[in-house]
Amino acid sequence: MNEMLILSLAWLAGGLLGVIFFGGLWWTVRRAVLSPRPALWFFGSLLLRMSIVLAGFYFFGSGHWERFLVCLLGFVIARLVVTRLTHTPIKGSNSAAQEASHAP
């Protein structure tokens, strides 16, 4: 198979793994806040998310450092995307007013 196609698939797989990991973290935080046992949510979610991501990196890296690196790049980009999409701004806050309040 063409090496560029393999690297593209590794990049997409890394992005999917990142969405699963960080999207799952976001979902876990939202669920754990309302739970009477939040530690159980966090620990169980961590085990599940880490298992999926480590197995995915092992599978898609296939012993080639180039594929692993591209997969990791997709994972990091997915982190940025999920962080941007799940960020909820604080209502009533103005960044210019906050910066001005810290002026000497």
Residues 8-60 have pLDDT tens digits of 999 999 999 999 999 999 999 999 999 999 999 999 999 999 999 999 999 98
- Give the chain's largest Cα–Cα span: 62
Q: Tell me the CA end-to-end span of the chain in Å, nearest whole number.
A: 62
Choose among 35, 28, 6: nearest CA to 82: 28
Q: What residues have CB less than 8 Å from 16, skipping those under 6 apart?
A: 56, 74, 78
Q: Considering the entire predicted model, what is its pTM?
A: 0.79
Contact 71, 61 (CB under 8 A): yes
